[in-house]
Chains A and B, each alone.
Chain A
Amino acid sequence: MTRRKTLISAFAIVAAASMAACSSGSGGSGGAAGKPQSGGDLVMARADEATSLLPSVPTDNSAIWIIEEIYSTLVVPAQDGSGVQPSLATKWKQSADKLSWTFQLRKDAKFTDGRPVTSADVKFSIEQVQKKSSPFAFIDAVITKMDTPDAHTIVFHTAKPWAPLPADMALFANSIVPKDYGGKSAQEFAKHPIGSGPFKFDSWTKGSRLKIVKNTDYWQKGTPKLDSVTFNVVPDSNTRATQLSSGQIQINEYPSNSSIKTVSKTPGLKFSSFPSSEVDYLGMNGSRKPLNDVNVRKAIRLAIDKEGILKSVYYDRAKLAGPYLSPTTWAHNDAIKPTKFDLKAAKAALAKSSVPSGFTTTITISSGDQDASAEAQLIQSALAKIGIKLKIKSLDPSALYSAKGAGNYDMAFGLYTTDIVDPDEIARFGGTFSGGVHTLYTWFNSPTMNKLADKASSGSDQASRKKDYDQMQQIIDDNVPYIPLFYVPGNYSYSSKVHGFKPGATGNYFLEKVWLSK
């Protein structure tokens, strides 16, 4: 959904919040924790509707964040993204030959229809994700065979030694569904999904709201605190902001950047940023001249005033990016610093290139994205100073997607996030030619990157894996196929009555820990 952020709507937001400030004045607990209370119905507003609640189908956050509440996975990501923690599995171990992983399941976990969760359910669930038409088939492709020696043991055999497997098992797509969908067809099951998570599916009015209720039989006793959570679809960002001020909702999933200031000033409302794995970057098509010249790309990197963009477009709600792996992963190479804005050095770099006096190129942005448009204009005026004439062209999001995939563009913005807590997925996606989309549509192809990624995923010692990832980040930094611009947090505005809301680096909401004060 395109989110319009026009001047008018920005004005509306400011006016709305100031009015709310005048009229509400209800105060609120101001974030004081206190003793967690049970009960209450939490209402969240989001921009888009969930696509499907079948774990093997969706790629959209709207669906993913609900799936994580309805189903359980073998393990869950730690809130800080540093590793995984037990969930349905209590213990897991890699075999001595490193070619298999054995997981022990807990015995007290039940699906909401009363049946116990067994290893047969796990096997069935993973097989669904391995099907060719599933978006995350690539994650489970390494699993060659699954054994179920008893009801509470599952053994994954892998094609090669595979350190990221526990992290893979924490992926929402690998959520455990009942074997054979409890005798239903996939489509029928998707209408009334059954899981073993903290919440139970209640109802779904397509286009409007999806409600989940407390699973009273959840194996983690004492949780969840909330009686229910309702996800309302509210496409317009102004309307979401006003609904929050008027108390119609408690959490706004996507507050617009321009609304942040007024929200944090309004009594009874809070705004928080949570560390997320999101990296926003500027991609360059290295299969085209003169962007195939590393000196040109370096000149562009030097000429961009990232701090200026951070202030005026991101309202300071992000960090300048250095290496391509974000600080939320342990593999982040903090020796690589963000490139300093330096026009002189930029000119010097361009002088060494094939086009010393500059050239004309195009940046393609997503139509309706006001932030991208502002950002592109800032970059346009920066590049003009070193003789690069940048034209701005806009395409609708789906068309832009295709253009990038076909290599039919010069420069474009993009973003990536990781789905698992292990660095393997994103290191490959952002760094290797075959591990995703031609190294983020740049056509940068380095065999060394592939070798390093393979070596890192087969090693089991984190320190030596870190060395490989450090080197991968160094190669990207040296060759500049794309420019990591910002590490962007997850932004939420919400009522001060909401406590314990702390989304993880992989986006998980952990709603079982959330409670509402009266």
Chain B
Amino acid sequence: MLRWLVRRLLLAVPVVWGVVTISFVLMHLSPGDPARTALGEKADAASVAALRHQWGLDKSLPLQYLDYLGQLVHGDLGQSLYYHSSITSLMWQRLPVTLVLIVFSAILAVLISVPLASRSTTKPNGAAALVVRLFNAVIQGSPTFFIGSMLILFLGVRVAIFPAGGYPSSLGSRAWALVLPALTIALSIVPLLVRGLRAAMIESYSSEYVTFARSKGLGTGPIRRRYVLRNAGISGVSILGIQVGALASGALVIEQVFAIPGMGSMLMTGILNRDYALVQACTLVFGLIVVVVYLVTDIVYARLDPRARLS
């Protein structure tokens, strides 16, 4: 287990390095000048040159790249050109918000998908199954920002249960304000989860151990809980793990719609203002999140399914 973990972590290093390098190259190759963007079009060329020098942008690209890697190795994410502050301190403010949002939406996604999937498998061609399939099709066909706006409209304005976006300062109301955005992100992966779970459950229902349990006289409820869901859950976990990337990119869009000060809105600002270091740092952190989640998924998978050993 420990050896496996060390090997996996070592394998993650080239992945992270690749993410860093690609984002560095892409950002620096894309047209646009952070100094000009910061100073506005009225500032004269001398001012722009002075700022470029101050920010070290007049150095050659390989040199900037080496400087950047050196910084990273020392755990320094650099300075944000746009926010005029250290990126590490910005990360401490923004990252927890997005992490909470991603975890919250993952939980909601599971809470929604499991009952839906099991409902639609008890009678695979019944009315409930049809409703679930229709729901899946509609949700999968709607872009997340649209679902978000609609949720704000119905649950934030018409029936004003939740605030219409925003991020209050008190903890209680903050958790409450996160329900709608988390639900929106969760809904974006619910169709995939339901379909995956449903297929796995149907397969499980037709397996010999279920037939055996039935003939032993067990009721539908215990069979579903103890045998079917448990086995189907294994594939659910791996779908959820793979979809964390989708959750993170969903958070990116949804944070804009709901005015949540997380990584997503910071990344957007960074891209539009050519804040190189900020975009690279955000990509790096998103990359790390995905790497870690895949790792955790593998561990959980192995715990659930003794056949998959960590070696």
User: Using an 8 Å CB-CB cutoff, how does the interface string of A41-85 with B read, 1 for contact, 0 for none?
Assistant: 000010011011010010100000000000000000000000000
Q: Residue of B at shortest CB range from A368?
A: B272
Check B84–A51 contact: CB distance below 8 A.
yes
Q: Does A475 contact B (CB under 8 A)?
A: no
User: Using an 8 Å CB-CB cutoff, how does the interface string of A118-141 with B read, 1 for contact, 0 for none?
Assistant: 000000000000001111111000
Q: Contacts A205-B169, A207-B93 given; indicate if A12 touches B269 (C-beta within 8 A).
A: no
Which of A303-311, A376-384, A391-399, A445-453 forms part of the interface with chain B? A391-399
Interface hits, B150-188 → A, CB 8 Å: 150, 152-153, 156-158, 160, 163-167, 169
Q: For the complex, give the distance between the alpha carbons of A429 and B43 in Å.
A: 10
New contact pairs (12) apart from A242-B157, A405-B41, CB-CB < 8 Å: A23-B160, A59-B38, A59-B39, A136-B42, A205-B261, A207-B262, A208-B261, A236-B165, A238-B257, A242-B152, A397-B272, A398-B37
Q: How far is the CB of B293 from chain A (nearest CB, A)?
A: 24
B-side contacts of A395, CB under 8 Å: 31
Q: For the complex, give the distance between the alpha carbons of A410 and B43 in Å.
A: 23
Q: Kindly identify which residue among B36, B44, B54, B256 contacts A405, using a CB–CB cutoff of 8 Å.
A: B36
Which of A150-158, A220-228, A243-251, A317-325 forms part of the interface with chain B? A243-251
A-side contacts of B36, CB under 8 Å: 401-402, 405
Q: Contacts A398-B272, A399-B31, A403-B31 given; indicate if A132 touches B261 (C-beta within 8 A).
A: no
Q: Does A20 contact B (CB under 8 A)?
A: yes
A-side contacts of B54, CB under 8 Å: 133
Check A132–B47 contact: CB distance below 8 A.
yes
Q: Contacts A236-B259, A396-B272 given; indicate if A51 touches B156 (C-beta within 8 A).
A: no
Q: Contacts A9-B149, A398-B31, A399-B30 given; indicate if A239 touches B41 (C-beta within 8 A).
A: no
In the A-B complex, the 9 residue pairs with the smallest Cβ-Cβ separation, listed nearest first, are: A207-B261, A398-B32, A59-B40, A208-B261, A234-B259, A132-B50, A135-B39, A399-B31, A239-B165
Check B44–A138 contact: CB distance below 8 A.
yes
Q: Does B298 contact A (CB under 8 A)?
A: no
Check A246–B164 contact: CB distance below 8 A.
yes
Q: Kindly identify which residue among B145, B158, B271 contacts A19, using a CB–CB cutoff of 8 Å.
A: B158
Interface hits, A207-223 → B, CB 8 Å: 207-209
A-side contacts of B32, CB under 8 Å: 396, 398-399, 401-402
B-side contacts of A206, CB under 8 Å: 83, 85, 90, 93-94, 261
Q: Does B288 contact A (CB under 8 A)?
A: no
Q: For the complex, give the distance between the alpha carbons of A19 and B37 in Å.
A: 40
Q: Does B301 contact A (CB under 8 A)?
A: no
Interface size classification for chain B: 35 or more
Classify the secondary structure of A's interface with B: mixed
Q: For the complex, give the distance between the alpha carbons of A146 and B26 in Å.
A: 47
Q: How far is the CB of A72 from chain B (nearest CB, A)?
A: 23
Check A135–B153 contact: CB distance below 8 A.
no
Q: How far is the CB of B43 from chain A (nearest CB, A)?
A: 4
Q: For the complex, give the distance between the alpha carbons of A236 and B258 in Å.
A: 8
Q: Residue of A at shortest CB range from B84?
A: A52
Check B51–A133 contact: CB distance below 8 A.
yes
Q: Does A8 contact B (CB under 8 A)?
A: yes
A-side contacts of B82, CB under 8 Å: 51
Q: Residue of A at shortest CB range from B274?
A: A398
Q: How far is the CB of A409 from chain B (nearest CB, A)?
A: 12
Q: Does A335 contact B (CB under 8 A)?
A: no
Q: How far is the CB of A393 from chain B (nearest CB, A)?
A: 13
A-side contacts of B33, CB under 8 Å: 398, 401-402, 405
Q: Kindly identify which residue among B43, B85, B94 contacts A137, using a CB–CB cutoff of 8 Å.
A: B43
B-side contacts of A49, CB under 8 Å: 269
Q: Does A176 contact B (CB under 8 A)?
A: no
A-side contacts of B105, CB under 8 Å: none
Q: Kindly identify which residue among A135, A209, A234 contacts B165, using a CB–CB cutoff of 8 Å.
A: A234
Q: Does A96 contact B (CB under 8 A)?
A: no
Q: Contacts A133-B51, A207-B266, A403-B31 given; indicate if A239 touches B43 (C-beta within 8 A).
A: no
Q: Does B146 contact A (CB under 8 A)?
A: yes
Check B157–A401 contact: CB distance below 8 A.
no
Check B156–A238 contact: CB distance below 8 A.
no
10 residue pairs A–B, Cβ–Cβ below 8 Å: A2-B268, A8-B143, A16-B152, A59-B39, A59-B40, A135-B42, A206-B94, A235-B256, A239-B257, A398-B273
Q: Does B283 contact A (CB under 8 A)?
A: no
Q: Residue of B at shortest CB range from A53?
A: B84
Q: Does A328 contact B (CB under 8 A)?
A: no
Check B272–A16 contact: CB distance below 8 A.
no
B-side contacts of A234, CB under 8 Å: 165-166, 259
Interface hits, B32-87 → A, CB 8 Å: 32-33, 36-44, 46-47, 50-51, 54, 82-85
Q: Kindly identify which residue among B143, B157, B272 contacts A23, using a CB–CB cutoff of 8 Å.
A: B157
Q: Does B265 contact A (CB under 8 A)?
A: yes
Q: For the complex, give the distance between the alpha carbons of A408 and B94 in Å.
A: 37
Q: Contacts A2-B272, A207-B94, A401-B32 given; indicate if A242 touches B156 (C-beta within 8 A).
A: yes
